[in-house]
Amino acid sequence: MTTAEFKKQIAEGIPFRLPAPKPYDQNLNHAPKRKDILNSTEKKLAVKNALRYFPEKFHSVLAKEFVQELAAYGRIYMYRFRPDYEIKARHLDDFPHRSRSAAAIMLMISNNLNHAVAQHPHELITYGGNGAVFQNWAQYRLTMKYLSEMNDEQTLVVYSGHPLGLFPSHKNAPRLVVTNGMVIPNYSTQDHWEKFNALGVSQYGQMTAGSYMYIGPQGIVHGTTITLLNAGRMISKTGGGLTGKLFVSSGLGGMSGAQPKAADIAGIISVIAEVNPKAIQARHSQGWVDEVFSDMDKLIRRVKQATAAKEVTSMAYEGNIVDVWEKFADENINVDLGSDQTSLHNPWAGGYYPAGLSFEESNRMMAEDPEKFREAVRKSLRRQVEAINRHAKRGTYFFDYGNAFLLEASRAGADVLNPEGEFRYPSYVQDIMGPMCFDYGFGPFRWVCCSNDPADLEVTDTIATETLVKLIEKSPVQIKQQMADNIHWIKEAGKNRLVVGSQARILYADAEGRMAIADAFNKAVAEGKISAPVVIGRDHHDVSGTDSPFRETSNIYDGSKFTADMAVQNVIGDSFRGATWVSLHNGGGVGWGEAINGGFGMVLDGIEDTGNKLRMMLHWDVNNGIARRSWARNKEAMFTLKREMERTPGLKVTVPYIADDEIIEEAIKEV
């Protein structure tokens, strides 16, 4: 298809003539059939809701088709309206537009739906089993049309994938405001999501799926590498590093698929179990996992050989993680680091496959007998924890990697609590990412080159490296290690060939680093050293962007970890300081109802005023969370805030006085 035809199709939105029905492509990874949750009245409502997107003349054909889709898949995806062109990141000028910012957003949306990037592309799911960009293809088509038409004095409003419309605004306002899954708090259980989503009125946007900020598995490779390196420092106080050590986990899906690659980069041997052969095949063919085993005995022999020879390799096991933990315990295989990355934020609808059932049996049971399936999941989690406990007794450092493993295991009655009623294993944020990164302001900084040209990405890599190398010289000792890890990462990034989809990169930096790199990019765009604008953003796994009591904010100990003021304030603050788009979500990462998270995207177009905006916005985007973490008495954040206030005129933050525990004990005794 020529670029002109592509542009024409985007500008058309919902086609004037009914396109031919599309075949169901068996070669693609599809979302599992969703639970049959609607009663007969609600099913009619779901179809009526879906028909709202189309002129009446199509209704008699589409009504029948949508009833069938709802029965067959539990959702109405409107498959017939999938476009014929390939959806992928392109040069921003290849998208029809009146606003370059809108074109950049189209590029980002397209990347999230690219077949090479998305987990279930035909169901518009980017990752995590249910992380949706849109609920159906009509929403995609309409959104792209609006973006192609809008100017820089309009703002597009998107409610859970549904484009509400273009509203007049002004040049400095965001071009797009997205919310996903925002519901009245009392209506935020898993089944509420199933129901609202089946009705077509809400969606689970995960974190970067519904905010158009996904950059393929590279983001999570980086996060996992940093986590493993820091975990390695924790377990080898003697400085032995990760050499010859073994990491065991599960999942080779959208995000979890990064684990073997990250383990290779961090220099630790890894075994990752995965029940879905298609997921294994995808990661193996991309070179993200080195070896594949379906025979447990062969796997064990290879693990023994690799650990004895201290040979770094990553191994996928085609089967259930529960079997790996149990068999490795029986065989006395010493596991140094352990985690889990099944999609336990979504335990009943395909996120977790119970031991003892085949992949196909599970898929059938979750749709046909959901209660029996729930019991199988609970039983499997209890078995998994029992086996992990055996390993932990022998010294395995097990951590929850932000997938709600401990939460769901405890709900299943697994032996995962200590006598004080707390989880016996830490979340990776409590021990590692919180105190070592977030409390110092270190978090994700990602960018995408809108020329879609690898040469531009190389230039940005060099600029980012030079900027950080300059900053590390005057960094305080407390943050030098994080700076050094990220300088090493960015120097190696090109070599590790991490790009899948758009020309994107990620690193971790603090407020100063993020502002300096963005500033340098903006100048390079102005000077023509980078050939087109650059989008900056982050995932929501960060200092300020997310309130998630068992993940991002699990190292907040003043009782406020169940509040969500920080994440909401963050998005509001970003939106009036210059973000090109902002998004606020219910649920990312750990599950619907379990977190509130927000993000932003900003187009660096080389204009001087963009320089002012980026400094103002990034400063807030990091220091909001630093101020909150400092108020929670986190000492690393108190240190960072003090430093920030010394150098930033106008920043005046309320700092806590620290009470002496003995005074409180005495006071309680006396009353």
Ligand X SMILES: NC(=O)c1ccc[n+]([C@@H]2O[C@H](COP(=O)([O-])OP(=O)(O)OC[C@H]3O[C@@H](n4cnc5c(N)ncnc54)[C@H](O)[C@@H]3O)[C@@H](O)[C@H]2O)c1
Q: Does 429 help bind ligand X (rule: CB under 6 A)? A: no
With a CB cutoff of 8 Å and minimum separation 6, the contacts of 180 are: 132, 160, 161, 202, 203, 204, 205, 210, 211, 583, 584, 585, 586
Binding of ligand X by 600 (CB under 6 A): no
Instruction: Pick the closest to residue 250 from 178, 308, 325, 193 (CA basis).
Output: 325
Q: Does 353 bind ligand X (CB under 6 A)?
A: yes
Q: What φ, ψ does residue 31 adopt, rounded to 5°?
A: -65, 145
Note whether 623 binds ligand X by CB under 6 A.
no
Which residue blocks in 39-99 are alpha helix, DSSP H? 40-51, 59-73
Nearest approach in angstroms of CB 359 to ligand X is: 7
Read off the DSSP letter of residue 245. Answer: -
Task: Indicate the residue among 85 and 348 with the shorter CB distance to ligand X.
Answer: 348
Taking CB under 6 A as the rule, does residue 401 contact ligand X?
A: yes
Pair 532, 620: CB distance under 8 Å: no
Q: Which tokens hold the place of 441?
A: 């302001």
Q: Does 589 bind ligand X (CB under 6 A)?
A: yes
Q: Which of 253, 260, 435, 549 binds ligand X (CB under 6 A)?
A: 253
Nearer to ligand X, 489 or 631 (CB): 489
Residues 126 and 109 sit within 8 Å (Cβ to Cβ): no
Our CB check for ligand X shows the closer of 322 and 632 to be: 322
1-9, 262-270, 291-299, 395-403 -> range binding ligand X (CB under 6 A): 395-403
| 204/143 Cα distance (integer angstroms) | 18
Return the residues of window 124-163 that contact ligand X according to CB under 6 A. Answer: 127-129
Stretch that binds ligand X, among 46-54, 236-244, 399-407, 456-464 (CB under 6 A): 399-407
254 interacts with ligand X by CB under 6 A: yes
* Window 12-41: residues binding ligand X (CB under 6 A): none
Query: According to DSSP H, which parts of 494-607 are helical?
Result: 511-526, 565-577
Selected range binding ligand X among 174-182, 235-243, 272-280, 298-306, rule: CB under 6 A: 272-280
Candidates 544, 551, 558; CA nearest to 635 is 558
| Interaction mask 488-527, ligand X, x per CB under 6 A | ----------------------------------------
Is 426 one of the binding residues for ligand X (CB under 6 A)? no
Taking CB under 6 A as the rule, which mask of x and - marks residues 103-122 in contact with ligand X?
----------------x---
The reply to whether 434 sits near ligand X by the rule CB under 6 A is: no
Q: Is 283 helix (H, G, I), strand (E, B) or coil?
A: helix
Q: Is residue 402 within the footprint of ligand X (CB under 6 A)?
A: yes
Residue 498 backbone phi and psi in degrees, to 5:
-95, -5
Residue least distant from ligand X (Cβ): 253
Enter the tokens of residue 649: 């005129």
CA-CA-CA-CA torsion for 118, 441, 345, 106, nearest 10 degrees? -30
Burial of 276 (0-12, 13-18, 19+ CB in 10 A): middle
CB 246 to ligand X: min, Å: 17
Q: Which stretch binds ligand X (CB under 6 A): 4-12, 85-93, 267-275, 651-659?
A: 267-275
**Contact in structure between 283 and 260 (CB atoms under 8 Å):** yes
Q: What is the CA radius of gyration of the chain?
A: 24
The token duo for 303 is: 């693990």
Options 112, 197, 218, 250; binder of ligand X; rule CB under 6 A: 250
Task: Give the nearer residue to ligand X in terms of CB position, either 144 or 506.
Answer: 506
Judged by CB under 6 A, which of 78, 248, 279, 282 binds ligand X? 279
594 binds ligand X (CB under 6 A): no
Q: Which of 13, 74, 223, 501 binds ligand X (CB under 6 A)?
A: 223
Q: Which residues contact 611 (CB under 8 A, 6 or more apart)?
A: 519, 522, 523
Burial of 661 (0-12, 13-18, 19+ CB in 10 A): exposed
Provide the binding-site residues for ligand X, judged by CB under 6 A: 119, 127-129, 220, 223, 250-256, 273-276, 279, 320-321, 341-345, 351-353, 401-403, 541, 589
